[in-house]
Amino acid sequence: MTNEARTEGRQLDGTESAQSEGVQAASCRRLVPVILAGGSGTRLWPMSREQFPKQLIGIVGRDSLLQATVARLKGFPGDFKVAAEPIIVCGEEHRFTTEEQTREAGVNARIIVEPARRDTAPALTLAALAAMKGGEDAIMVAMPADHSIADIPALHRAIAIAAEHAERGVIATLGIPPTRPDTGFGYIRLGEALEDGAHQIDRFVEKPAAELAAQYVAAGTYWWNSGIFVVRASVWLAALQKLNGEMHAACCAALADGHDDGKFFRPAAAQFGRAPSDSIDYAVMEHIGTTSRPCEGVVVPLVAGWSDLGSWDAVWDAMDKDDSGNVASGRVVFEGATSSYARSEGGRLVACVGTTNIIVVETDDAVLVADRSRVQDIKGLVARIREQHAPEADAHRKVRRPWGFYDSIEHGERFQVKRIVVSPGSKLSLQMHHHRAEHWIVVCGTALVTRGEEQFLLSENESTFIPLGVRHRLENPGKVPLEIIEVQSGSYLGEDDIVRFDDTYGRCS
């Protein structure tokens, strides 16, 4: 590590910055949205997959959950100023789609790419260190990227109350007054009531069994844990250092030795790999109210149509229903059905006759039929599919890439057919394959083809052949999407048979 990097690491260590009253006074009225976007969401299979998780999908509207989250603090009232650039922490495999979707939403985000999954506490720590670059000590509003909130003004009012507490060095969280016993949420036991409607946090409790959840709701002194936290960056860092110095040190080193990679910031992988994996709740929040408490905590009520969309039953609950309690998305017809959810994503007609409390989700390559009372078992189902090495566990038939997407239309022994769409001005890597040859047919647009030492243009209805072992590249020099049909043939057709020599998106070996 260079001396400059070590100096930067010391500056990003919250313990030193937290002592600077001038820094706090200068920036504590500034809110920085922090979006935690590293989840996989297997309970919403087959829509949510490992390579395309639920935060990137429009589950309850046209915008994805990520896009709805990054826009959530727009128009925030009062005298707190919201930073124009939110901080998003996401995984390596989702970085390009995350950047594309935030750009489509009109937001220029600072995106931190986690070198490995370490749960939410290290992710928030990276965001806190980034927020303090330049000597600021802004108030972070940490939000999961995969929640749904119907009443945004009510959310703003709750965050404004939480920010007032955070300004004076308190860790504030938003709690949901429960509407039913639910074993899928953690709970917060309320302490002393405050004048603004908030409560001191007595303690956090883990997800309870059904009987205990019913007791919590009946007592009226427990709220659901929303996973939304409002805290000054330095306060979070100081609390974490007290409770988990190993995680704190690993994240500080990872950020100090990290580097910019185009539109992304990459923490140092080796240093980040030394951080223990832990959630915000376990690492810090469950210690509030104990003898080792790192600081004071308050919980602010949020009554805003919140849902964590943790299951298809939660999706059904969050959406408008017909007179029979049914929810339809896409080409769906109900006949004599009640309290059912049906979604047609692949374009085929889904017809439900006489169904009750049923979930039906259709995609291009999979169909889920489940009883609404058993949707928590979908996670185990996906694990079984993965054990069978079936591709449907991890990826959709349509796979997004930074240059566009491809759709695997058909495949058989020694052949595969793909529809490839390349965005205007984009290009694939310069690559070759050891085990397959390819035929390209242009359907729409203009293709600039590199094949060995040749380079030439192809227009609609023209085609070319890429022999096995020949370096090649496909580019779209035009202003409209380029669409081609690719026919692959060979002894092995897996995506790992790609040797990249040059790549705009930094994917070379």
Residues near 392 by beta carbon (within 8 Å), at least 6 away in sequence: 46, 49, 365, 366, 385
Contact between 171 and 231 under an 8 Å Cβ cutoff? The reply is yes
- Nearest-CA neighbor of 473 among 507, 452, 450, 495? 450
Contact between 69 and 101 under an 8 Å Cβ cutoff? The reply is no
If asked whether residues 301 and 321 sit together in one domain, one would say no
If asked whether residues 17 and 77 sit together in one domain, one would say yes
If asked whether residues 370 and 490 sit together in one domain, one would say no
The verdict on residue 241 lying in a domain is yes
How many domains does the chain fold into? 3
- Nearest-CA neighbor of 172 among 109, 51, 80? 80
- CB-neighbour burial class of residue 84 (10 A; exposed 0-12, middle 13-18, buried 19+): exposed
Residues near 416 by beta carbon (within 8 Å), at least 6 away in sequence: 408, 410, 487, 488, 493
Whole-angstrom Cα distance, residue 391 to residue 331? 25
User: ∠ at Cα 380 (377, 382), nearest 5°?
Assistant: 110
The verdict on residue 128 lying in a domain is yes
Whole-angstrom Cα distance, residue 33 to residue 21? 23
If asked whether residues 465 and 330 sit together in one domain, one would say no
- CB-neighbour burial class of residue 134 (10 A; exposed 0-12, middle 13-18, buried 19+): exposed
- Tell me what pLDDT residue 454 has: 96
The verdict on residue 153 lying in a domain is yes
- Tell me what pLDDT residue 205 has: 87
Residues near 316 by beta carbon (within 8 Å), at least 6 away in sequence: 327, 339, 341, 359, 372
If asked whether residues 383 and 446 sit together in one domain, one would say no
Query: What is the mean pLDDT, run by run of 10 residues, along the chain of 509 residues?
Result: 38 40 52 90 89 90 92 90 93 91 92 94 96 88 95 96 94 94 89 94 89 92 95 95 95 95 92 94 86 82 93 92 96 97 94 97 95 93 93 88 92 94 96 96 97 96 96 96 96 91 81
- Tell me what pLDDT residue 496 has: 87
Among 357, 387, 417, give the residue marking a domain's end: 387
The verdict on residue 507 lying in a domain is no
CA quadruple 195, 200, 204, 208: dihedral sign: negative
The verdict on residue 508 lying in a domain is no
CATH number of the domain encompassing residue 31: 3.90.550.10
- Nearest-CA neighbor of 340 among 364, 368, 363? 368
- Tell me what pLDDT residue 509 has: 56
- Tell me what pLDDT residue 292 has: 67
CATH number of the domain encompassing residue 489: 2.60.120.10
The verdict on residue 392 lying in a domain is no
If asked whether residues 363 and 220 sit together in one domain, one would say no
Q: What is the DSSP string of 401-417?
A: ETTEEEEEEEEETTEEE
Among 365, 387, 409, give the residue marking a domain's end: 387
If asked whether residues 64 and 92 sit together in one domain, one would say yes
Tokens of 241: 């250092």
- Tell me what pLDDT residue 28 has: 58
Whole-angstrom Cα distance, residue 110 to residue 95? 11
The verdict on residue 467 lying in a domain is yes
If asked whether residues 69 and 145 sit together in one domain, one would say yes
Q: Measure CA 161 to chain center.
A: 26
The verdict on residue 393 lying in a domain is no
If asked whether residues 278 and 330 sit together in one domain, one would say no
If asked whether residues 180 and 209 sit together in one domain, one would say yes
Among 327, 359, 387, give the residue marking a domain's end: 387
- Domain region containing 245: 3-307
Contact between 79 and 28 under an 8 Å Cβ cutoff? The reply is no
If asked whether residues 353 and 294 sit together in one domain, one would say no
If asked whether residues 89 and 16 sit together in one domain, one would say yes
- What torsion, rounded to 10 degrees, do the Cα atoms 70, 76, 81, 84 define? 30
Tokens of 363: 């995609």
- CB-neighbour burial class of residue 283 (10 A; exposed 0-12, middle 13-18, buried 19+): buried
